[in-house]
C-alpha cells in the first residue's frame, strides 16, 4: 500500500513561559503555513531506499523502533532546512507517519515524535 503524506511548514513566534509559572516551561505560539510543504510517498519494501538522505535516515530509525523489514520513500517536495520553517521536524514526522501507515501501524503523533 502506497501512503502519501503532506505537511505544512510552520513559523514559531515566541516563547510564552520561560519560568514555567503557567505549568509548562517555554511553550510557544506558532502558525502553520500553506507553503512550502513536505510531500512524500512511502510503501513497505524489502530493504530501505529513498531519493532523500534525510528521509532515509529517519526511516531507518522508524524501521528499527518497530522492527520492520523496510520501506521505499519518495520525497516529492521538501521544506528548506535551517530557515526557521520546521523543515527537519516536518520531514521526520512525515516519514514516521508514512512508514508506519505503510506497515498498517496506527501510531499517534507523540509516539512517532519519540521514534524519530
13 lies in which domain range?
3-115
**CATH code of the domain containing 14:** 3.30.230.10
pTM of the predicted protein model: 0.88
Q: Print pLDDT tens along the chain (116 aa).
A: 899 999 999 998 777 777 777 777 777 778 999 999 999 999 999 999 999 999 999 999 999 999 999 999 999 999 998 898 999 999 999 999 999 999 999 999 999 999 99
Count of the separate structural domains present in the chain: 1
List for the chain the helix, strand, coil content (%; round to 5).
30, 40, 30
Amino acid at each position: 500500500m502506497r501512503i502519501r503524506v503532506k505537511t505544512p511548514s510552520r513559523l514559531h513566534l515566541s516563547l510564552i513561559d520561560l519560568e514555567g509559572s503557567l505549568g509548562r516551561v517555554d511553550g510557544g505560539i506558532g502558525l502553520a503555513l500553506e507553503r512550502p510543504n513536505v510531500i512524500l510517498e512511502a510503501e513497505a519494501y524489502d530493504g530501505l531506499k529513498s531519493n532523500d538522505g534525510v528521509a532515509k535516515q529517519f526511516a531507518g530509525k522508524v524501521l528499527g523502533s518497530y522492527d520492520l523489514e523496510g520501506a521505499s520513500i519518495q520525497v516529492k517536495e521538501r521544506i528548506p532546512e535551517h530557515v526557521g520553517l520546521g523543515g527537519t521536524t516536518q520531514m521526520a514526522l512525515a516519514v514516521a507517519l508514512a512508514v508506519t501507515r505503510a506497515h498498517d501501524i496506527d501510531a499517534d503523533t507523540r509516539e512517532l515524535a519519540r521514534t524519530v
